[in-house]
Structure 1
Amino acid sequence: MPAHSHTSAPEGEAPPPDPAVVAGRRRAVRLMLYVLVPIGLATLAGLVLLWPDGEQTAAQQAAESFLPPGTTYPEATIASLEPYQCAEATGSAPAQTCATAVMVIGEGVGAGDYVQVDLPAEVVAEGVEVGDELVLNRDPGTDGGDAAYGFYDFPRGTPIVVLALFFTLVVGAVARLRGLLALVGLGFAFVVLLQFMLPALLDGGSPIWVSLVGSSAIMFVVLYLAHGFSARTTTALLGTLFGLGLSAVLGAVAVAAAHLTGSNDENTIQLLQFDPTLDFSGLVLAATVVAGLGILNDVTITQASAVWQLHEAAPTAGWRELFRRGMSIGRDHIASTIYTIVFAYAGAALPLLLIFELYQRPFWIVLTGTEVGEQVVRTLVGGIALVLAVPVTTLIGALVATAATMRTQPPAPEPTEEEREAQRRRERLRALREQAAAAGPGGEPPQRRDPR
């Protein structure tokens, strides 16, 4: 019988990967790239065509009248504090106390100068004292006039920096290099958002195309940077792009059908004053697409990883079996993700929900009203795209994983003469055992009935 050659790894080391399996997986990835490469080229073309020209937009020009050029935000220290009553008690509302503060500018133009600033009641209620630091806004004035100072905000740089460093440390300690690369990808996402998407929207670009192009660019870089270039990551990217496209299509239909104008809060009203030509309904759609980025990435990479882990555990399983097992994991993930989406919105909109509770409006009127209805539509559109991305990602992963195995399995060798003879002996032995089992208790075979 011909000998079969086997390559064994040194003791204590993992055996080298099967070159045929590796080649099969590479072929499977190439099949997916036939779809991804055109999408990537279209994304690059969209970035070039939609990239803002850098000139001031109408909204930016209008905003200059609200924010004079040269306005800065220095930190200053309270040198003295003189409280005074700025509102008397009315009914159940207590009296309000404001304060006049003399502050020392600590940085920038006018550092070391003493300035007088009026502090509103909500700032005094926080318990500010002499020696505390506050952020002021400095209006440089015009025609050689004196600069004017006013309270702007509390300084939060130190706690935010400390939390960011601690967050980075925790991510690096637990997720190691992959987690740190995910933070780098997050930085890239903010660059795309701040340098492309927001300026392009202010420049009058199509919200649906700006959001799709920007989101696709983010996903191409973030997924491969954090998870490496592999069939698993490529599977997740295809599922994510499917979810983004579905969010855009469903969002466009839902925004039009629900008559969402996008002008339901103070921020959008202020934008309307700056530039009334902006497409506010389109901004609702763009927000829907961008809001689904993180959760889509989470779900698709989890599903892709699950499918490939299942395939490695059972390499002989067919794509239907892989899909069935992967969807059993995906259903649990969908259930938990739905809770995440809904409660994340409820937490962010808690003050608004409290106001509605005080007004005692009917639940259905609140749910379908402008303020809540926009968020409900956005949540439902994102949820539909999220749920449908799970079976699509699972199916792609199952097909690719099994295609790699089927392409790399060599044809079964022809049995030798000795193997054929052994198979014939096994068949004869099995036939004898069946005859013995059919025999009666005395060892005699059962009597045949007379057909007559």
Structure 2
Amino acid sequence: MGAVHGDRRTPPASRRVRRLVAAVIVPMIAATVVALAILWPREATPTDPSGANDRRLGTVTAMQLRECAPDEVVETPTGIKVSRCGVVTVRITEGAEAGRTVETQVPDGPGAPTVDIGDDVVVLVLTDPADPSSQQYAISDHQRGVPLVWLTVLVAAAVIGFGRLRGAAALAGLAVTFAVVLLFVLPAIVAGQPPLLVAVVGSATIMFVVLYLTHGVSVRTSVAVLGTLASLVLTGVMAVLAMRVTHMTGYGSEDASTLGIFYQNVDLHGLLLAGIIIGSLGVLDDITVTQAETVAELAAANPAMSRRGLYRAATRVGRAHIASVVNTIVLAYAGASLPVLVLILGSGRGIAETLNSEFIAQEIVRSLVGTLGLVAAVPLTTALAALVTAGRSRKPVTDPTGETPPRPRPADPDRPAAVGVDRGRLANPWDDPEPRDADWP
């Protein structure tokens, strides 16, 4: 496995190292493929089609607003009054009623969509159970397909324009991630397979495909794969222990309770574990790839650096990365749960009682367990990268023309030293009070 995306000055891995890495990676890929085939859902995902015929797609063609009567004014618990009254004319654009024009009341009340002429909307058909021939229509939502498509095109153009081939590979990896989650992970969980096992196999599949597709088939990518896999295993073990100690049931949210009613064969406890595993994978990829690349670049800059020197220098980079990523994880979970957090705090509960609720506690467990996985990823990946890199970094580095760079000129004792630079030791960006290796340049 030669370097594909790395610096061309980086010496290629020795044949022995390549064989050793392949002997570890290939069986893991084979085991993942076998597990994927065994767990792949054989039957179609059970769905509830009862409400599929109750929705129509249409376009607002006219609006007639009027003043609301006193009994039509809606007041929220916080005192905000919402009142929009009138009639909206909608032309159905798809389905059996395409071309038909229907009238509905202006959407009103908290959370109701605000519509205008020309908006594409979703219309809900309300049928009277006592008289099936009597139907009413109500606007329930906007159609967001076209804006989402244009937003996706804009993001894809930005990624490819800046990242070029690697950006295109990253988008392909994103498509693979969505495919694995939508075609394997979710259907397998609904079919009754163990969620934790499904999450591990799905995460391993995403990891192998996305990392090799985005960063190329190389020793440094394989090191990132091994570091990610080891960190995922540790994250899973810590998640199991944390959920056992905190007595998590998986029923901490209304969505989970609803899922438990409609799909009684789904293990919600295992589903919570699966969510922690999959949620940690994306950030772990970032950490492990960065550490593997850092070790490779350090070895290219100084081929004489020992394994210990590579490990210590790259670990200092990893510490700075971890310090920022940990905050990112907490903010990501808090942002996703912000409405519920506001609702709980607005209920008048104390801080201790709020943190003790299962919904908040499981988000805390997600953050803490994910952080432990990230912290473990730095030394694991850095040690593996230093182990396979230092052995090939003793030869002098050549430039792309194949010539060996000239040796640095010895220091002139009669020439005054530069301010802040010791004659006997070169200044380096990782300079700190810690003791240095004997072979540090």
Shift of 1:147: 7.4
Shift of 1:285: 0.3
Instruction: Point out the more displaced range, 359-368 or 372-381.
Output: 359-368
Aligned twin of 2:273: 285
Deviations 1:294-340 (A, max 9, x none): 10111110111000000101111111110000100000001010111
Residue pair 1:25, 1:401 contacting (<8 A) in 2 also? no
Pairs within 5 Å for 1:18-57: 21-22=11-12, 24-57=13-46
Shift of 1:289: 0.5
In structure 2, C-alpha distance between the alignment counterparts of 1:366 and 1:355, rounded to whole Å: 11
TM (norm. structure 1) is 0.78
Deviations 1:332-356 (A, max 9, x none): 0010101111112222222222223
Q: Does 1:262 align with 2:245?
A: no
Within the candidate set 123, 128, 134, 2:115 is matched to 128
Shift of 1:56: 4.6
Kindly tell me: are residues 156 and 56 of structure 1, through their superposed partners in 2, closer, same or farther at Cα, counting changes over 3 Å? closer
Aligned twin of 2:82: 96
Residue pair 1:81, 1:130 contacting (<8 A) in 2 also? no
Matched pairs, number: 384
Aligned twin of 1:77: 60
Secondary structure of residue in 1 paired with 2:180: helix
Identity, in percent, stands at: 36
Residue pair 2:73, 2:83 contacting (<8 A) in 1 also? yes
Shift of 1:108: 3.2
RMSD: 2.8
Shift of 1:180: 1.1
Q: Does 1:225 align with 2:208?
A: no
Instruction: Point out the more displaced range, 320-329 or 244-253.
Output: 244-253
Q: Does 1:153 align with 2:136?
A: no
Aligned twin of 2:436: none
Q: Does 1:114 align with 2:101?
A: yes
In structure 1, C-alpha distance between the alignment counterparts of 2:255 and 2:105, rounded to whole Å: 25
Q: Does 1:211 align with 2:199?
A: yes
Higher alpha-carbon Rg: 1
In structure 2, C-alpha distance between the alignment counterparts of 1:88 and 1:141, rounded to whole Å: 24
Unaligned runs of 5+ in 2: 1-7, 397-441
Instruction: Point out the more displaced range, 354-363 or 251-260.
Output: 354-363
Q: Does 1:243 align with 2:231?
A: yes
Residue pair 1:77, 1:106 contacting (<8 A) in 2 also? no
Residue pair 1:72, 1:139 contacting (<8 A) in 2 also? no
In structure 2, C-alpha distance between the alignment counterparts of 1:69 and 1:124, rounded to whole Å: 22
Shift of 1:132: 2.8
Within the candidate set 180, 188, 191, 1:192 is matched to 180
Secondary structure of residue in 2 paired with 1:201: helix
Aligned twin of 1:364: 352
Letter matched to residue 264 of structure 1:
G
In structure 2, C-alpha distance between the alignment counterparts of 1:124 and 1:250, rounded to whole Å: 40
In structure 2, C-alpha distance between the alignment counterparts of 1:231 and 1:175, rounded to whole Å: 22
Higher helix share: 1
Aligned twin of 1:276: 264
Pairs within 5 Å for 1:381-392: 381-392=369-380
Within the candidate set 342, 346, 365, 1:354 is matched to 342
Secondary structure of residue in 1 paired with 2:14: helix
Secondary structure of residue in 2 paired with 1:292: helix
Shift of 1:115: 1.7
Unaligned runs of 5+ in 1: 1-15, 410-452
